[in-house]
Chains A and B, each alone.
Chain A
């Protein structure tokens, strides 16, 4: 069974009907895994016996008439999400053998539905980045062009057909840019829709847990399973009385797509052409296109970095070498702190925590942090205003083609890759990235951004647009 060419629904059905057992499917997947992982550096940890055992247990449940909508579906989990069976590194070499006492809520839900975790995927230093270039274990290569980064290892796993679903985190755009670079679909859900229990967020205000998959249909198949109130994540209380879905159906209802004209001026011409084509294709499919204005993208990106770094300095303060991780050899407390923390946090994480501390300090707090909170509010208002004029809007996902694995890139250039993603994170709106086209055989994705809880509309619209011509691997 070629996982890339089918759907989650069809595979689960095949397992439920006995065409193939979960055990056979997972066995094959794990074998595939080692072949395809070669040279790409997707995994921090690969499941072995435990995945096989899980698959056997699923087969057993099926025999007893269990309802498992994701029976046997192989999934990967980004390594900033806890999974109590395999090590969770959080993107730190000091945690390469750390077994978390919990399993992330999303992973729990997917497993209950029959999915099988086949591995933990690579990520940036303490999960901070959208390239994997700062990973302590080295970057993940792009399956389309191995000298470039995949952006996200989970997306690479989906693109190569190693797994059908990748559980990913997204703060400034890691999930979305990874999916964009690998030519697959990825959903960053509305704030509060999906529980973040078990996610080590470097930035709690903007971190979300989402799904990357080969198609919108596959994401739709699991959205309900991972959505809803979880008492372990306060933000999900907005779904306590059910999810306030906003659903519009393409074809039977008029749907207006907002096109922020000036936003595309920030792109290289060859990328810009891809989006103009995508816009025209949407028009051809019967969507109304409306030109709109988004004026604060650059400032949104900057505000995102101020808040993200400030929160990271605090979120990562728990890594002190006392209760978990490694501790530095030291004869006094101060040295113990400095050594342990330098060992646990890599260079990027150190930079972010130190700058974040600077931004929150007396004298800088008002100038930077408070100003960022105000820009955050302005971005909220701006997106909310725009989404009154249209049902959803389209934006590029990544500002550039994926970065070269070799070659110097300044930290600010790397941060600037989040140009179109970070402001969307500030808006709190859901964003779906789907393939828009390609440049020199490298996939390019676009974001569809809708009002809160419009994920089902975004996925429906996304399905009508594809499969787009992204070529084959």
Chain B
């Protein structure tokens, strides 16, 4: 496997998305196309320019420290597995 292929496998593992074998093969092909498609962007001479970090110019947007409780029933109803006050996940072996 070339480095992009290795990287793709690592990415799938890291982002924890199940993909079938045909989809995986397709993703490998598509990643190559995508990286080729991005080439012109890599060739732009950006010198020692600082990249932009934020799309907005807001700074120090701060909330006052006043606690408030939320409606819990509404939130907990959305959970696929909620029992006895807890969100449940398959047993984790420590």
**B44 CB contacts on chain A under 8 angstroms:** 296, 299, 371, 374-375, 378
Given A238-B57, A354-B17, decide whether A377 and B79 contact each other with a Cβ distance below 8 A: no
Q: Is A302 an interface residue, CB under 8 A from the partner? A: yes
Give the contacting residue for B56; candidates A191, A324, A373; CB below 8 A.
Answer: A191
Give the contacting residue for B41; candidates A302, A351, A357; CB below 8 A.
Answer: A302
Which one of A328, A350, A410 has the greatest number of beta carbons of chain B within 10 Å?
A: A350
Chain B min CB distance to A189 (Å): 12
Chain B min CB distance to A441 (Å): 32
Which one of A98, A335, A336, A338 has the greatest number of beta carbons of chain B within 10 Å?
A: A338
Give the contacting residue for A374; candidates B46, B56, B74; CB below 8 A.
Answer: B46
Interface size class of A (residues with CB under 8 A): 35 or more
Given A205-B55, A333-B92, A372-B41, decide whether A357 and B14 contact each other with a Cβ distance below 8 A: yes
Which residue of B is nearest A323, CB measured? B79
Give the contacting residue for A376; candidates B10, B42, B51, B80; CB below 8 A.
Answer: B51
Q: Is B49 an interface residue, CB under 8 A from the partner? A: yes
Give 1 or 0 for each of A227-239: 1 = CB within 8 Å of chain B CB: 0000100111110
Q: Is A407 an interface residue, CB under 8 A from the partner? A: no
Which residue of A is nearest B43, CB measured? A299
Top 6 closest pairs, chain A to chain B, by CB:
A373-B51, A342-B18, A302-B41, A338-B18, A374-B46, A237-B58
Complex A-B: 20 CB contacts under 8 Å = A101-B78, A191-B55, A205-B54, A234-B56, A234-B61, A306-B38, A321-B80, A322-B87, A323-B78, A323-B87, A327-B80, A328-B18, A330-B90, A336-B90, A341-B17, A354-B17, A356-B15, A375-B44, A377-B52, A428-B55
* Given pairs A101-B74, A373-B51, 11 additional interface contacts (CB within 8 A): A234-B56, A296-B44, A306-B41, A324-B80, A332-B90, A333-B91, A333-B92, A350-B23, A357-B11, A363-B7, A364-B7
